[in-house]
Amino acid sequence: MTSLPATTHKKLGLVIDLDTCVGCQACATSCKEWNAQGDSGPLTDTDPQGSDISGPWFNRIHGYEVHQEGRSDSRVVNFPRSCLHCETPACVTVCPTGASYKRASDGIVLVNPETCIGCKLCSWACPYGAREYDYTQGVMKKCTLCVDRIYNENLVEEDRVPACVRACPTGARHFGDLGDETSAVSQLVKERGGFDLFPEMGYKPTNKYLPPRARKESYAAGVAALPKSDGSVMEKLFVWADKLLTASKASAPVNPPDNSDKLEG
């Protein structure tokens, strides 16, 4: 049924820390590895050993450069992108077959590969590019939030989290119930000012992203903030040496300008 549940008992999802993510791809490869062997069927690749490899992945790790206005430096933000298990996902409501659905129990958005007709309309409806078509099986694939791990009693307790969360070496991925205000993930979102991707689209993503922490104005500020003068003999010596060296540099240019023509000629 592609009509959405009015409410879900839980809102299971991920909280991704853009400050600590180092872009190592461990989450993406662990996800691919688990889902290539788990209950939801293999995530196929075409030409897997060749030069034109192609196949669906549930998790893609982008790298962005962010330059904030008024700063002299910029920073790189590693940015894992996967299904956000939205509260009101259009990918589910556009599905003509009922293969896409949102679970009333925990809010996980899934595709039933047995009934999906591969019309791709859900991928058109998703602003996050979270759904990828499996060309070999003719059906749509997406992140399952490792529904075959998180309730799996055959696994030891600490493994009952999504494979990406389990694999992350820096603890940048957190899994929990974002519908419960007292849960660790909800507290983390509150504390760190977690945000939604593309809130303008109105699909109310469950997954949250934690912004990179503010940095000191490291480079430019460091140059400007020279230590204050204390009037000591050592300082005067350095000032004298600085002047002497500066003056001798100016009088003996390393590249005399009158040589440049000859060099070019």
Among residues 135 and 219, whose Cβ is nearest to other proteins?
135
By CB under 8 A, residue 217 contacts other proteins: no
Nearer to other proteins, 80 or 149 (CB): 80
Q: Contacting other proteins (CB under 8 A), which of 61, 111, 145, 164?
A: 61
126 binds other proteins (CB under 8 A): yes
Among 9, 37, 39, 54, indicate the residue that binds other proteins (CB under 8 A).
Answer: 54
CB of 221 to other proteins, least distance (A): 18
Binding residue (CB under 8 A) for other proteins from 137, 170, 183, 187: 137
Question: Under the criterion CB under 8 A, does residue 121 sit at the interface with other proteins?
Answer: yes
Tally the C-alpha atoms within 13 A of residue 143's C-alpha that lie toward its C-beta.
28
Q: Check binding of 104 to other proteins (CB under 8 A).
A: no
Binding status of residue 3 toward other proteins by CB under 8 A: yes
Q: Which of 18/108 has CB closer to other proteins?
A: 18
Contact residues for other proteins, defined by CB under 8 A: 1-4, 18, 23, 28, 52-54, 56-57, 60-69, 74, 76-77, 79, 81, 90, 92-99, 115-121, 123-129, 132-135, 137-140, 195-198, 200-202, 209, 211
